[in-house]
Amino acid sequence: MCQPLIHETLLVKDFMGDDASLKLDKAIVSLNLDRKDSFNIHLVVNELVSNALDHGLLLLSSAEKSQPSGFDAYYRMRSERIKQGNTGHIEIHISREFSAERHKLHIHVADTGDGFDTDSLDAKLPGSDCTFGRGISIVRQLCSSVSYSPKGNQVHVTYDLEG
């Protein structure tokens, strides 16, 4: 049985200050998870939402980060694009599945962007020496499943609760 727990909609303008972060933190705290699960869910949700914002809505390329002063340039462009007033949004749904063996959280993040070629994702996963792109690798390590919609603008992950 799945129980819906969280449904948040974040507009691009919510990322101008701390509004988006505060909404997500408050929503995750409301799940009343143990410390380890709470930390992991914060990490997973923040990574998925950051990817949806940066790549889905703001159309930023992480390759920029590999250049000298790349992180500064990337975050400057990110800030400028947020201020430009993009009308896209991100939907976050979290539900809890109860079963005799294990409790799970299902996290679904969707953005209104054009998506990406999900088939190319495995080829792009970085090594440990890369300056960007490790987030999805971390999400894959923490979650029991990660799947993308064919269009690439939605991701569904399953997290097995320990506590």
Band (pLDDT 50/70/90 cuts) for residue 131 is low
- What is the model's pLDDT at position 2? 83
Averaged confidence pLDDT in the chain: 88
Which helix (H) or strand (E) segment holds residue 97: the answer is strand 89-97
pTM for this predicted structure: 0.90
Q: Rounded distance, CA 74 to CA 133, Å?
A: 13
Q: Which token pair is 144?
A: 């029991």
Q: How many domains does the chain contain in total?
A: 1
Give the pLDDT mean for 74-101: 90
What's the rounded Cα separation, in Å, for the pair 27 and 25?
Answer: 5
Could you tell me how far CA 117 lies from the centroid of its own chain?
A: 17
Q: Which residues pair with 155 in a beta bridge?
A: 109, 148
- The dihedrals phi and psi of 7, each to the nearest 5 degrees, come to -140, 110
Return the CATH number at 22: 3.30.565.10
* Distance of alpha carbon 105 from alpha carbon 4, whole angstroms: 10
Q: Which amino acid does the sequence have at 141?
A: Q
| Domain carrying residue 67 | 2-160
Residue 1 CA to residue 74 CA, distance in Å, equals 42
Residue with tokens 């991701």: 155
